Structure formats: structure tokens, C-alpha cells
Structure 1
Amino acid sequence: MKTLKIDRIGNLGEGVAIDEGEKIFVPFALTGETVLARVEGNYAELIDILEPSPQRIPPICAFYGQCGGCAVQTLNDESYAAWKISLLENAAQRERLSFKILPMINAHGSGRRRVALHARISDGVAHIGFMAARSHRLVEIKHCPLLVAELSPALQAARDLSQILASREKPLDLAITATPEGMDIDIRGAGTLASHEIQALIKSAQAHRLARLTNHTRLVTLIQTPWIDIHGTHTPLPPGAFLQATQAGEEIIGLNILEALKKAKSVADLFCGIGAFSLRIARFARVVAYDNNPLAIEALCTACRQTPGLKPLQAETRDLFNRPLTPQELIHFDAVVFDPPRAGAHEQVKSLARSDVKTIVAVSCHAQSFCRDAAILVAGGYSMGPITPIDQFRYSTHLELVAVFTRQSDPSRGRRRLLG
């Protein structure tokens, strides 16, 4: 056991102490606290808080301190917001970027509408929960206060479905999304199912009134086709499809995008998913949307066909990581929106930096990859506007970011491009 003084909260939400010149990371400890911890290498288990921080408040969840699903629940609102903003400031410093950061917007809304639960089998019994901090050890939970009310039955449903597959003794993940038609669940890690397992899963899905149950996106049973409302557009939800974590988050991001693009006539939506932004933009501008998921593109096309009054919207399956749009292809657009996965859009951003697109709206949930991509655009001659931080991942290390990049008109750029 060691007594440690916490110097700060790190990028993963852990308290950071310095002991004999070495950094020690202590989950659930706060800046300024003196703690008793069991140290192993550079990591420690919090045993007791000897001197608590004045910023410490009670957690909202009984499982906090065991479950690693949340990084920081015990900071007061002001300190919590400052820590979240520090994640962006630290990433910007590493890339030598300077920009204005607007006040953080709370986008938790009614809660998370999607969740990924883990299932582990012990002595033939399925246990459901999240992993402990920095561990592969499952912490079984009975409820999660961050989820929308429609996902209250999710843990029991996940437990019952996993129990049917317990004889396989495989670790499972269950991706669960709340929809108006009921929960949509995709089981991952089970492999090919036997006929008796399929029948038992169908019976359980019916008992839990699921909208749909899939196994690695392959249909097990469909009770009602799940749909999502996107800005007044009825959009089918493909199995395992990406959605913004909260409805409020999607709406706030969408409003920021629409404000930035209100003068645009032709827009490329890159990494478009099922069209959360494309369907909004198509109310006033022509849109060409790209994503590497063919099911998401199909869903976007279906929504477009069923929605009257939209401007022309074309959707194409394309892997922008390996085949980014070239500067020549980008000539046709006066604006681009890109919202890539957490790793960012390195190759596509390098191409954008060489383009003549006037307005680029960058959306990201990861400060480090965002700043790396932003640095490329700035080096390519783009001016960067203020960043809007949006907190739809409450208590986590993730922070949604929206920023607008603009290129001033330069006739010589056009002449250089035409001359090769």
C-alpha cells in the first residue's frame, strides 16, 4: 500500500500521482486528493480517500468505482466541464494548434439511446455488464442510469439471450439500440448458430418484445422493422448501424452543421452513415453522400425516396480510408461535411487540404484525431473557426467536436490547378 497525492486528472479520467519520479495512474481519484492505493507498476487500485477534493460530489451510480464504463462521475459541474475541455486543449498543444473554444454544450438529453454490453459465462451462468477500468474483468450491473428509459429492459434481455448461448462459453458483446418499435439487438462473438439456439433466441426476443434480433448483423428474427426519425424523415435502421449516442447530440450537431452550410448549394457528406446530416442538408442543398457500409447507404436511399421535397441526394458506397475523394472530384462541391470514426480521416483530410472546397465542417468524438486532422487542414491553407464542444458522452473521456474551416477565394489556386 502507498499513500499518494493526486496531481491532476489525466486524459483517461484517472488521477495521476508522481511517486519517486514515476507517474502512477489511479482510477476514480481526483486532483488534489490524498489517497491510499495498491500500486502495481504504473497503475494503482484506489483503496481509500484520505483527503477528498472539495470538487468531489457523490456519484449517480452505485456501480461507480467498480465499473469502468464511466471515467469521471464525482466532479462537480464546473470542474467536470474544465476537465473535458482540457482533453481538447492537451490535444491541440500536441499539434501546436491555436483556436477558440466555445462553452461546452450539455447534450445528454434523455440519455444514451445505444449501448454495448459485455456478456461473460461463469459456471454455465451468463453475467452482463461493463469491464472494470483498465481490465478485462467483467463488472456485472443491474441497471445503468445513463441510458434512455426505453433501454431499461436491456440488461435483462441481454442476460436472457446470452444464457441461451452459455454452453458455447464464448465472450459475447451485445449492441443494443432503442427505437420506437422496440429494442434492436445485435449479438457479436457467438459464431454460427445451431437451429435449436435460433429457436430459443426467437422465443426470447418475442418475450422481450424486441423489434429485431441479429447475429453479427445476420437476421435471427424480425418482429417489427426498426426505424429512426431523422429531422422529420422516416429512416430504416440497418443492423448494427451507427447512431450518435444521444438524440439531443445529433440535433445539436445538426444545428451547427446547418448554420455553417446555410449558403451552400452542393455538399459532400463523408462518412455519412444512415444520413443523420445528409437528410438535414438535403432540405436546401444538393448532397452526395459516401460511406463504406452498404446497408447504411441503402437505408439512406430508402429514406430519401420516401421523403418529398428534398433536393437531389445521391448516396454511394465507398471506402474513404483507402479511396478518398480526390481534389479533382471535390471540385463539384462548395462545402464538405466529414464525421469519421474515432481514428479520424487522415488520408481524406490530406486530399481535402489540397482541394478548393470553400467550407469544410469537421465533426469528431476524439480530440486527438480531430486536432491531427485540423492541423493538416490549417497547414493546407484553411482558416479554422471556433470549436463547439458537445458533451453527449457524459462522464466518459469522449467529447464531440464541431468546427468550420474556410478557404478564402484565390484565383491563382484555380489557375494552378487547371495548369496541373
Structure 2
Amino acid sequence: MSTVHVTINRLGAQGDGVANGEDGPVYVPYALPGETLAIARNGDHGTVMSTGNLSPDRIEPVCRHFGPDGDACGGCSLQHLAKAPYNDFKRQLVIDALKSKGLTPDVKETVECHPGERRRTVFSARKTEKELLLGYNRAETNHIISIVECPIAAPGIVARLDAIRAIGMALATGSETFRISVLESLSGLDIAAEGLKPLSDKQRRKVTETVLALKGIARVSANGEIVLEPQKPVIDFGGVKVSPPPGSFTQATKEAEEAMATLVHGHMGKAKRVLDLFAGSGTFALRLARTARVHAVESDDKALKALDHAARNSQGLKPVSIEKRDLFRRPLIPMDLKHFDAVVFDPPRAGAEVQVKELARSNIKTIAAVSCNPLTLARDLRILVDAGYRIVSVTPVDQFLWSPHVEAVALLSKV
């Protein structure tokens, strides 16, 4: 390890400052472009030792758990960057990913995310002799920083940290680390623990006693199994009430979800039959069913059943059909696709390459692609563009505040 003086040239894809060293880039966490620093260099990684010129874009972080100090949780990497350059950084991530595949479409301004909007968060937890550590892992380590605040999370979650700790303590058996997902639903917190040993009857009683002594807890589950459900967790998809299965995927913020749904719905136009691929519990399908017949395809049986139940018990919707199918192994082929006017797909981070290749062979005129990974989105869009589709627009949507992650909605059409 050596001490060197560097100037930060740009932000890297993970939010680190990047200095151009003689033998390659050096990544310096919490540094910003234009800053001159003395760093302790270890390979391509640098730790700030002292600062010279600081960037005019540097602002004061809002959370005590942010920064290079020992109690930094590692959950945020960009709290110190002013809003305008921060939004530009998110947009540039999408532009750079598209450019890597030779694509230069119209990329809109970033749809902003704000503090306190995160309705779903995943904590790391571990039982010690005295307490339950509940928080996030320090960057690049398995060390849990037990938090007392989290400005990105919904106030309804932050205000119940003690209650979440009490439930986690009742669930924990040994000293192994496990995860606690918390969703703020309309009917209370939905708490889903994963990575635990099977619960004993004694533990179940303890969890029940703990939850019944608290208020505002809708459901507690362990490893996908419901332990206690005082009332079903409910979320709202455009006026349609859905009870998602334990620990299932939901968009992290309602505001980002609504922004993406508005873009998708607007692009569907007067489509009569819409296909929703990787449909989950119905984020897009149930909204689209206000104006079109929808066929929802999803591999998760429990999520699909939640979607189906919501559709069957809601008024004012066009018919919604469902299909359980692994689209990575069995994509819909052109013969399956010929009955639809438009498609929306929102796959996991790996993207939808196998399915997109079949979409490229279809005659569907309208496609909306939603992605949490600009790189796999760019790959998938390249396939569609090569098949004759035109990218109408791409909109970055920030729902992971102060992180290097960004969603994007790409709208495509074919003449």
C-alpha cells in the first residue's frame, strides 16, 4: 500500500470517484470529480487520507451512517453529491449502457427519487448475546452496521425499527446472519425473514406473543411460510388492491412505480390485447386492464395467484388471464404472440434475452421494456432494433436513492 496524490476525473458506475493512474484507473469511494486527494492506494482501490480542492457539487450528507467512517452502513454511495449532478449521473449510466451497444436514442431526464419514499427495504440481522443487530452491511464486508435512522426508507418503517428488532429477536435461533424484508403496506408492515433455521413451536409462540403486543404489523413470515397474519398486507396497483405473497417482489417506491406505469400505459395507446411478461403480482397488468384485455405471464405461482385474485375481485377491469411459465426456459414464440397488439416486459436483472429474440420475430407493433439493469436492457434493445423496432424514448427512473442503481423504461414501436 502506498500514499499518492490524485485528481478525480469522473464517477464510476458504482458511484466511486475515478482517478486516472499511470497503470490504470483507481477507484476512490466518497470522492467527486475535480477533487484533489491524498489516498492510500491498494491496487486499483484508494482510501482518502486527506483532501485538497473539494468539488462545488459536494454537499453535506443527511445520514449519520454515511461516509468512510467505521459506522458507515454501505447502503448509500452518493449522499454527498448535489441533486442536479446526481440526476445527471443516473441518466448517464443509461446513456453509456445504450452507447455500448451502438444505441443513441432520446434519453429523457431522470425521474427523481426523494427521501422517505422507500416502502420496501431489506435489512441484515444477527442475534448477539445482548441484542439483535439490524441494519445494512458495511461496504464490501459482512459486518452489520446496526442503524438508528435511514433517510431513504419510509417514515413508517423507520419509526418501527424497535418493533422489527423485537420480531427479529423472536425469530432468531443462533448467531447466523439472516435477512429481514420489510414492506410498508396499506394495512401494516409485512415482515419476511429469510435464511433462518426451521422455527420450533416455542419460537412460533414467542413470535405470536411479540406481534400481538405490537401495533401495525400485518404479517410475519419465515422462509416463505406465514407465521402470523393479523391482517393481509395490501398494496395498491392503480386503484386495484393486491395482497402479495410473503417476501415477493414489489417496486421499491410507489412513486417510481406510478411513473413507470404511466409511461407504459401511455405507450399502449388503443391496444385491445396486451401481453405482460414477468408480470409479478400485477404491477402493470392490473393497471393496463382498465383499458385492455391482458394476459399475464409469470413463473412465480404465488405471485400469479395474488394477481388473479385481485383481478377477479376488482370492478372496472377488462378480462385478465394468467399463465405460469418460465420465460427463460420456455419463451413465448411468434405463434403465441400473434394475438396481441402490445407487450410490456419487466424481467429480473439478467434481462429477457431469450424472450426478446422471439419478440423480435413477431409482428407486435408496440413494446414497453422496463429494466433495473441498463446493461441487459441495452443488450435486449439492440436485438429489437436489429429486427426493425424503433426506440421512441428511454426514461431513467430513480427509485434507489443515493445508490448506483437506476431503473429505465424504454418504449419501442415498429411500422
TM-score when normalising by structure 1: 0.93
Residues 25-66 of structure 1 deviation map (CA, whole Å, 9 limit, x = unaligned) = 111111111223333222233343332111101112111112
Task: Show the counterpart of 1:147.
Answer: 153
Q: Residue 135 of structure 1 is aligned with which of 110, 132, 141?
A: 141
CA–CA separation in structure 2 for the residues paired with 1:207 and 1:141 = 23
Task: Show the counterpart of 2:122.
Answer: 116
Q: Which amino acid aligns with 1:396?
A: S
CA–CA separation in structure 2 for the residues paired with 1:111 and 1:391 = 11
CA–CA separation in structure 2 for the residues paired with 1:372 and 1:229 = 32
2:82 maps to 1:80: no
SS in 2 for 1:310: coil
Rate the CA distance shift 1:60–1:322 in 2: closer, same or farther, 3 A.
same
Task: Show the counterpart of 1:416.
Answer: none
Q: Residue 102 of structure 1 is aligned with which of 92, 99, 108?
A: 108
CA–CA separation in structure 1 for the residues paired with 2:380 and 2:147 = 37
Task: Show the counterpart of 1:417.
Answer: none
How big is the shift at 1:165? 4.7
2:234 maps to 1:232: no
Q: Which amino acid aligns with 2:350?
A: A
> Within 5 Å, which residues of 2 pair with 1:208-223?
208-209=214-215, 210-223=217-230
* Contact 1:344–1:369, Cα closer than 8 Å, also in 2: yes
Task: Show the counterpart of 1:418.
Answer: none
Task: Show the counterpart of 1:157.
Answer: 163
Percent identity of the aligned residues? Answer: 38
Task: Show the counterpart of 1:390.
Answer: 397
How big is the shift at 1:82? 1.5
CA–CA separation in structure 1 for the residues paired with 2:5 and 2:91 = 29
CA–CA separation in structure 2 for the residues paired with 1:110 and 1:162 = 23
Worse overlay, 235-244 or 201-210: 201-210
SS in 2 for 1:374: helix
Task: Show the counterpart of 1:34.
Answer: 36
SS in 2 for 1:39: strand
Q: Which amino acid aligns with 1:163?
A: M
Residues 181-214 of structure 1 deviation map (CA, whole Å, 9 limit, x = unaligned) = 1100110111211121222122222233311000
* Contact 1:125–1:166, Cα closer than 8 Å, also in 2: no
* Contact 2:173–2:197, Cα closer than 8 Å, also in 1: no
Q: What 5-or-longer segments of structure 1 have no aligned partner?
A: 409-420
* Contact 2:94–2:408, Cα closer than 8 Å, also in 1: no
How big is the shift at 1:122? 4.4
> Within 5 Å, which residues of 2 pair with 1:34-73?
34-65=36-67, 66-73=72-79
Q: Which amino acid aligns with 1:207?
A: A
How big is the shift at 1:107? 4.1
Q: Residue 400 of structure 1 is aligned with which of 392, 402, 407?
A: 407
CA–CA separation in structure 2 for the residues paired with 1:19 and 1:136 = 29
SS in 1 for 2:260: helix
* Contact 1:36–1:47, Cα closer than 8 Å, also in 2: yes
CA–CA separation in structure 1 for the residues paired with 2:265 and 2:173 = 51
> Within 5 Å, which residues of 2 pair with 1:310-325?
310-325=317-332
How big is the shift at 1:268? 0.3
Q: Which amino acid aligns with 1:8?
A: R
Task: Show the counterpart of 1:414.
Answer: none
How big is the shift at 1:400? 1.6
SS in 1 for 2:52: strand
* Contact 1:292–1:317, Cα closer than 8 Å, also in 2: yes
How big is the shift at 1:124? 5.6
* Contact 1:107–1:252, Cα closer than 8 Å, also in 2: no
* Contact 2:115–2:401, Cα closer than 8 Å, also in 1: no
Worse overlay, 61-70 or 286-295: 61-70
Aligned residues: 408
Task: Show the counterpart of 1:300.
Answer: 307
Rate the CA distance shift 1:188–1:385 in 2: closer, same or farther, 3 A.
same
CA–CA separation in structure 2 for the residues paired with 1:159 and 1:110 = 20
Task: Show the counterpart of 2:286.
Answer: 279
How big is the shift at 1:120? 2.9
Rate the CA distance shift 1:38–1:158 in 2: closer, same or farther, 3 A.
farther
Q: Residue 13 of structure 2 is aligned with which of 11, 26, 46?
A: 11
CA–CA separation in structure 2 for the residues paired with 1:42 and 1:122 = 35
Rate the CA distance shift 1:19–1:104 in 2: closer, same or farther, 3 A.
same
Aligned CA RMSD, in angstroms, stands at 1.6
Worse overlay, 399-408 or 198-207: 198-207
Residues 240-269 of structure 1 deviation map (CA, whole Å, 9 limit, x = unaligned) = 121111111111111111110121011000
> Within 5 Å, which residues of 2 pair with 1:257-406?
257-406=264-413
Rate the CA distance shift 1:375–1:252 in 2: closer, same or farther, 3 A.
same
Q: Which amino acid aligns with 1:3?
A: H
SS in 2 for 1:143: coil
